[in-house]
Structure 1
Amino acid sequence: MADPRGDAGEQPAEPDPFWWRDEVPRRPLPVEGGIQIARTRGPVARTWWSRRFIGVLEELGVGGRLSRGRSYARAGQIVSLEVGPGGAGAEVQGSRPRPYRARIGIPTFGKAEWAAVTDALAGEASYAAMLLAGEMPHAIEEVFAGVGLSLFPDSASDIVMDCTCPDHAVPCKHLAAVFYVLAEQFDADPFRILALRGRDRDALLDDLRERRSTAAREAGSAAADGAAPLVELLDRFYTGGVRSARLVGSRTPPDALLDQLPDFMITVRGEQVKELLRSAYRALDGRD
């Protein structure tokens, strides 16, 4: 009977679980019309809020994956990107024919938490004005901290990251590419950061306007409650109030300006012109 292991008596080779590493090119497949960042060199984030967001990624210390992620983002390897409350999902083209699915999750704030944040923002006129103008106040992190919240993730534990690629490191270069694209989008629209936490631009601005209007009405009502009716003031409405004492300081001589003038080369009857004018200045002042 023939040896079932073959003539050489060897066991059949087991399949290589990483067969795709040799058969698929390591370079990512090009994407036509992919989503990419505009900055081809240097730092990606330009605004402080985008740098703060990227800082969370850089604190993870993933080394070369950050540079490869930037290369993916600059090359336009992201096929699609959806951003909404609670995170972002993207398809990132790698070396395999089928794009990888990358997901970044950030916890959203509840209704009561956002009410506390909005009340704090509305209570400071400068914060409300900047947000209504489309800008992110520098102290907005302090506002969130004041109500026990954090606008940006504090650490990797505050972010859920997942990718279908075979790389076991988190974040992988595909997730890093999504981070960089998000950072550039945050540069253009800081409200996207707030949207990740569960409150979009229109909803937040509407709440701010409503709270500011309510505060103004309440302040007007409080002032009106302490004022006398107009009918009781008609007899003295047009009378002047108490005049304050007139402030009198040291008086400047009327001809002091002439002392600043140089002597004229031309004289009138042997006298300097400014000396002739001095008597006129004093006469106009009433001293002579």
Structure 2
Amino acid sequence: MSPGRRRGKAAVRGYGITGWSRAFVGVVEAEADHRHITGARRYFRERHVDGLQIAHGVVTASVRGTQLDPFDVRLSMRTVDAATVIDLLRRTGRAAELLDLARGEQPPGLGELIAPTEAADVVSACTCPDDAPRCTHVLAVAFEVAAEIDRRPTTLLTVMGTDLPELLAVTRDDEAAPAPVESAPPIPDDPFGDRRLPPPVPTFRATEVLSELDPTMLRQALRATGVSMTEIGEALDDLTTYYDVLKRRR
């Protein structure tokens, strides 16, 4: 190389550049201390993570640490439900964000439904002897995943147990499903077999029956039966009493 030419510097690796990537890293880092985060960043820059595999809801990799043999890391996610995501997108008027994702964007509404929101959403395990909640090797793998999300936003969907084809399929199935038809309530007695509902029960004017009776005609009717006047008076009193009882129990 001629003395006038300088050796080019290697590009500095980065992660957490986009919103979705930062959301994922933030949840994993929430249980880590500064020492582990600093060491993991060095492992990330020096490419200590090998064999990164991102499957639906699970991430695996090996990390070269201070010992001869690498450590195995596994991240298990609390996965999302595709049907629930689509339903919430529609309820908030953001169903079109699926098209934004297909164009390589990171729509914020969809990200809020997909990305983990608390430390319990990402369960980590490592074969190293460090008993910290998030060891250096786990964090280094998380940083690699974040870098993949920066490069390809749909990676976050895979990490959280779904993908764009599944979300689009749920959308198409919902649009093709016929609207539910409300069936008529069963009719217990249908003597004519025409399944027509009976007319509503009519309402009646509240009235005092005994006060509207013609007392003269009532006495004449009772006397025609041979009942004495004393018994007629007692009968009217009994009718009044019984009618009051019926009204109270109604």
TM-score relative to the length of structure 2: 0.59
1:134 aligns to 2:104 (yes or no): yes
| Secondary structure at the counterpart of residue 43 of structure 2 | helix
Shift of 1:160: 1.2
Q: Aligned equivalents of 1:131 and 1:98: distance in 2?
A: 40
Q: Would the aligned equivalents of 2:58 and 2:74 in 1 still touch at CA under 8 Å?
A: yes
1:44 aligns to 2:15 (yes or no): yes
State the partner residue of 1:70.
Answer: 41
Displaced runs of 4 or more, over 3 A: 119-126, 205-208, 211-215
Q: Would the aligned equivalents of 1:51 and 1:183 in 2 still touch at CA under 8 Å?
A: yes
1:186 aligns to 2:165 (yes or no): no
Q: Aligned equivalents of 1:174 and 1:125: distance in 2?
A: 37
State the partner residue of 2:209.
Answer: none
User: Which of the numbers 102, 111, 121 marks the counterpart of 2:89?
Assistant: 121
> Does the C-alpha gap of structure 1 residues 114 and 73 become closer, same or farther in structure 2, counting only changes over 3 Å?
same
> Does the C-alpha gap of structure 1 residues 156 and 125 become closer, same or farther in structure 2, counting only changes over 3 Å?
closer
Q: Aligned equivalents of 2:24 and 2:67: distance in 1?
A: 29
Q: Aligned equivalents of 1:140 and 1:197: distance in 2?
A: 12
- Counting only pairs closer than 5 Å after superposition, residues 1-288 of structure 1 correspond to structure 2 as 40=12, 44-109=15-80, 113-121=81-89, 124-141=94-111, 144=113, 151-208=114-171, 210=172, 214=176
Q: Would the aligned equivalents of 2:32 and 2:134 in 1 still touch at CA under 8 Å?
A: no
Q: Give identity over the alignment, percent.
A: 33
TM-score relative to the length of structure 1: 0.52
Shift of 1:57: 2.6
| Secondary structure at the counterpart of residue 135 of structure 1 | coil
> Does the C-alpha gap of structure 1 residues 152 and 165 become closer, same or farther in structure 2, counting only changes over 3 Å?
same
Q: Structure 2: any 5+ residue segments left out of the alignment?
A: 1-9, 180-250
Shift of 1:180: 0.6
Q: Would the aligned equivalents of 1:136 and 1:190 in 2 still touch at CA under 8 Å?
A: yes
| Higher relative contact order, chain-length normalized (CA < 8 Å, sep 6+) | 2
Give aligned pairs, total.
Answer: 168
> Which is greater in Rg?
2
Q: Aligned equivalents of 1:52 and 1:180: distance in 2?
A: 12
Q: Aligned equivalents of 2:49 and 2:111: distance in 1?
A: 30
RMSD of equivalent CA atoms = 2.6
